[in-house]
Chain A
Amino acid sequence: MANVDIFQVRTHEAPLLPAPVSTTGAIGWMRQNLFSSVGNTLLTFFGMYLAYSIIMPFIQFAFIDAIWTGDNREACLATDPNTHAGACWAYVKAYLPQFIYGRYPEMERYRVDIVYAMFVLLLVPLLMPSAPQKTLNAILFLVVFPIVAYFLLTGLEIGDFVVFPIVETAQWGGLLVTLVIAVTGIVASLPLGIALALGRRSQMPIIKLVSIIFIEFWRGVPLITVLFMSSVMLPLFLPEGVTFDKLLRVLIGVTLFSSAYMAEVVRGGLQAIPKGQYEGAMALGLRFWPMMYLIILPQALKLVIPGIVNTFIGLFKDTTLVLIVGMFDLLGQIQSSFSDPNWSTPTQGHTGYLFAAIVFFVFCFGMSRYSIFMENKLHTGHKR
């Protein structure tokens, strides 16, 4: 009892002390992520220098020195002949209609606008997993929309009665051609790709062999040779007098090419379906096609949505290649605008390419984000 005042017995919990300043908040984060060791600190400064030397000239060019308004090249010339002016956005503004519609007649451009609007209105709900009426939406998008878009874009004349005046595809250009080739290519290659994927997994040796040869052939050659082939050799394959529209020839080449890639994507999905699903379907007495479209394909296609989106991104970027066979997609239209003496300045090329890069980046980056979103949504098991 005598020692009782030596011990101190706490009657309540000691207050929690805050964590050391150096381990929390911004300072802690920086210590951990930027300056954890000498080497790391050096790396950080090197990285910051690198980023600075890339980003600063870019901002200087694209915003600070940029010329936003003007009617011709005079506006975009540097005031001091020894320096370069910034981006000539006035030129992009003047050429924007060409970049979007090509040489589509000005009076008829509303038709393209309608197609763009329909495309967005039908595609967005289709991409949103929570939106209702998926089947109706898919039918509208995959069947009705292409037919309507075809007549809107090319024109419709019944006898002497002109609903929409005909616009030759040679007059199409810019983003319109890019989107037409990419979307048609992907939509048309989907059924072909599914058929090829099923053929490659078929038990019938000849069908399997033919599918394999077809797929490996198209995957083995560069798209540019395919485009040359469709523009040079396709006319040779047809009887005398039968000619194809140039855009259609390119579309055929692109579709065959991307259907091979699509087939491999779909095959990946088919392989991921457990054997029990096939056996279950057969036990129910389903034949091959009902088994496929009722049981297997709905599951397999859902699995490969990210893969399909990735194929689409690749195709979307590859549409630029059509400028080599003399068509004017977005890049081709921009490239051809450089020959206009009215806007010819030292920075015209840089501005045009920057604009093209931004447009392609926005489209492709958006699609790749969507593909990651779907991947996370579909990837339900084995999450850590």
Chain B
Amino acid sequence: MIINLIILLIVPFLMAGVIKKTKAFWGGRKGASIFQPLHDFIKLMKKDFVISKTTSTVFKIAPVVQIASVLFASMFVPLACGSALINVSAGLIIFAYTLSLGKFVSLISAMDTGSSFEGMGASREACFTTIVEPAFFMLIASIMALSGNFTFDSLQNILASAGNYGVLIQIFAVVVLFIMILIEGSRVPVDDPATHLELTMIHEVMILDNSGSDLAFFTWANSIKMLLLSSLIAFIVIPQGLTEWMAVLAYLFVMFIISVIIGTVESAMARFRMSHVFEFVFLMSSFALVVLALVVARMFGG
């Protein structure tokens, strides 16, 4: 458990660092140390913050609610070793809607500033979320239905419960979750975390008015969200029955590989036009549907 806690505190920043390092590598630059995001976080935590006069209480409590909801959600997800801290059969639903709570608060906090940019960002983010959510449920619930075990543990047993279809389901599940990481983590090709152009931003523009520890909470929460979704991928691909240390190493290795892939994707392709992002998000839904179809075929098709 201690290991999981340390991972939750540090690995999100390291992932962000590795992504940036990968991008620097492809761009022919040396790049900042992979610990830079952690340093940035500590720096922001020490800073004072400025709060706009046009905002209300919503704006002030939003960062705390956001980070609290993400941390709470993390208790329902299995990390490096062992099962989730709270391993209940309704875990999926609590996980998804606690994250949604955080997102809802950050949306209304963005609207609270009265800035037209932030309103646009909030509308874009809300729009993507409504498409992502059903796809996520379809994927995880299908896998759970297959094994009959309604906890996240069922992700580990895909091969055992799905037989011939196991590998296919694993591949599609990883792809769906990876696309979800790009969307939720606001990475290229959905969003551009490095841009300064307010008109094109999605996630970044929503936290434009936040500063100091508020900003630190939002960026940390975003990194943790990416870590949690990556953990689900790790849980699917890492074989069962490893010793504890081997499991932790394998987990960290998967996190590293995912970060490098994200960095490489960001370097190799341009961002989608905003109207094409929806097509990309629907790609995730269609892959989730394939998983559902495979599960139905397995359960009722013989």
Our verdict on whether A and B bind, yes or no, reads no
